Structure 1
Amino acid sequence: MLEKKSEFTIYPITVLQDNIVWVWVHNCNAVVVDPSISEPVEKWLLEKNLSLKAILQTHHHDDHIGGTQKLIKRWPQAKVVASKKELKRIPFQTFSVGDNDVFHLMDSEIKVIEVNGHTNNHIAFYISKEATKYNILFPGDTLFSGGCGRLLEGTPTQMFESLCKLNSLPKSTKIYPAHEYTENNLKWALTLEPTNLSIIERLKLIQNKLQKGMTSLPSTLSEERKTNLFLRAENIDKFTMLRRHKDSWKC
């Protein structure tokens, strides 16, 4: 059983090839973000004697919603929070939200940020609490550590605007992406900026963590501003060039 804490803590459950299901724990309650599959999440929650309070869905892809329906069968009281524009593709949502909506969960305020690009109607969840001065972002597949999502439905302009939205958050914001892509992204970045010391040093630190069986995440917005080429793109033309280059790059 986890030690009970008044502050919340976020834990990773690694599943599939590189997905990370984030579990936000506060006392005896838990919120799960983008559960790809149900079995390891359910097992983890039961082992820790936690009650599932809600599931946050950033977008409709199966590796983000694939475990949701089984989890809500086990915990039918859990809310499923998703974009109200995705009622067809996430039909089991029970708490529908839109851009700039604010709601409260586990003694925290959560803001919904629409971040189109990877998919249409993709949303991110931003959690802030003045009393404890923490800022948390669950960006789904929009912002990765050292990278950003592929443009599967949206346009370069949409993704660029979405990243600008996220880049306007406080630099101390902790970022919890849905995939472990950091090493690959930083290796790509070094092909374009081979003398960038921030990227070189961060890659060494990340590789050391991964060799120890740890995840490279979370990141911080401050770190991303130094090492994420997409977040540093000055304009849409630069962003578009970077996205095309990354799409064709082979590790």
Structure 2
Amino acid sequence: MQSPQALTIYRLPIFRDNYVFLWHDPLNQTAAVIDPGDSQPVLDKLQHLQAQLTHLFITHHHWDHIDGISGLQARYPRVKIFGSAVDRGRIPGQTVFLEGGEILEFGGQAIEVLAVPGHTSGHLAYYVLPQANQPGELFCGDTLFGCGCGRLKEGTPAQLWDSLQRIRELPDQTRVWCAHEYTLKNIQFALTVDPNNASLQDRHRTTHLARQHQEATIPTTLGLEKQTNPFLRCEQLELQQAVKATSSLQTFTRLRGMRDQY
């Protein structure tokens, strides 16, 4: 649970390894939800908070990110449902169609919409802009994971690599809210191609201990990802040599293929 100013982000685990994020504005007693794959945990949390659901932010159309929409819309019929224009017809009840580059608002905070295709053709990320001494918050769905990235379901390696490079430009302090708890396995894979990375070794120890105690590894920070996530470091000569590549895109493509088989 994290608190950007007066707002609080709740992490709701669903299914085997998914997270839904509920963003609560206690001043107005409203809530926004990111990627509701299941409605019941969200409804339970809203009831506990005595909050009204006003916004649904959808990163992409896969079932484990949208299957709770209908149940939430039935209870809150005036909820605004944001998603990519590319996903028109693939997100139930969608009311707002985004291209990327828009600035949205919830609870007095500005949210920049980022088009990050690759995992899917219409994938979006929602970047809550930093305020005062509070870092930004990135809700990135299945584009960037803890020490990993999403599989290529609809897009190309070049698209996903480009999307990750744009995410990488955000400040190191940015908190990254990934939609799956994949971090430990991703670290184990990363060590096969980057075994001498001391920061990665440290992350493996702390993550292994956290998961032994069933603690979440999300949110992570973009600074930590830049140090340890091989999919953000494809220009580095050591990684290129490890996968026998001669360019950053070739390195990314080979890493993604290797991770698919891991």
TM-score scaled by structure 1?
A: 0.94
Question: Cα distance, 1:12 vs. partner?
Answer: 0.8
Separation in 1 of the partners of 2:108 and 2:130? 9
Q: What does 1:183-222 align with in structure 2 at a 5 Å threshold? A: 183-222=184-223
SS in 2 for 1:215: coil
Question: Cα distance, 1:221 vs. partner?
Answer: 0.5
Q: Which residue of 1 aligns with 2:242?
A: none
Check if 1:243 corresponds to 2:256. yes
Q: Which runs of 5+ in 2 are unaligned?
A: 236-247
Q: What does 1:11-50 align with in structure 2 at a 5 Å threshold? A: 11-27=10-26, 28-50=29-51
- Classify 1:243/1:40 alpha carbon distance in 2 versus 1 (closer, same or farther; 3 Å): same
SS in 1 for 2:141: coil
Q: Which residue of 1 aligns with 2:57?
A: 56
SS in 2 for 1:17: coil
2:166 aligned partner, one-letter code: K
Check if 1:108 corresponds to 2:121. no
Question: Cα distance, 1:36 vs. partner?
Answer: 0.7
Question: Cα distance, 1:91 vs. partner?
Answer: 4.3
Question: Cα distance, 1:5 vs. partner?
Answer: 9.3
- Classify 1:100/1:182 alpha carbon distance in 2 versus 1 (closer, same or farther; 3 Å): same
Question: Cα distance, 1:126 vs. partner?
Answer: 0.5
Is the contact made by 2:55 and 2:81 (CA closer than 8 Å) also made in structure 1?
yes
2:216 aligned partner, one-letter code: T
Separation in 1 of the partners of 2:131 and 2:44? 33
Q: Which residue of 2 aligns with 1:172?
A: 173
Question: Cα distance, 1:195 vs. partner?
Answer: 2.2
SS in 2 for 1:176: strand
Is the contact made by 1:115 and 1:162 (CA closer than 8 Å) also made in structure 2?
yes
- Classify 1:200/1:46 alpha carbon distance in 2 versus 1 (closer, same or farther; 3 Å): same
Separation in 2 of the partners of 1:8 and 1:93? 25
Q: How many residues align?
A: 247
Q: Deviations over 1:193-249 (max 9, x none)?
A: 222211111111112222222211100000000110001111101101111111111
Separation in 2 of the partners of 1:98 and 1:134? 25
Separation in 1 of the partners of 2:207 and 2:4? 28
SS in 1 for 2:110: strand
CA RMSD between the two structures: 1.6
Is the contact made by 1:6 and 1:26 (CA closer than 8 Å) also made in structure 2?
no
- Classify 1:133/1:5 alpha carbon distance in 2 versus 1 (closer, same or farther; 3 Å): closer
- Classify 1:179/1:243 alpha carbon distance in 2 versus 1 (closer, same or farther; 3 Å): same
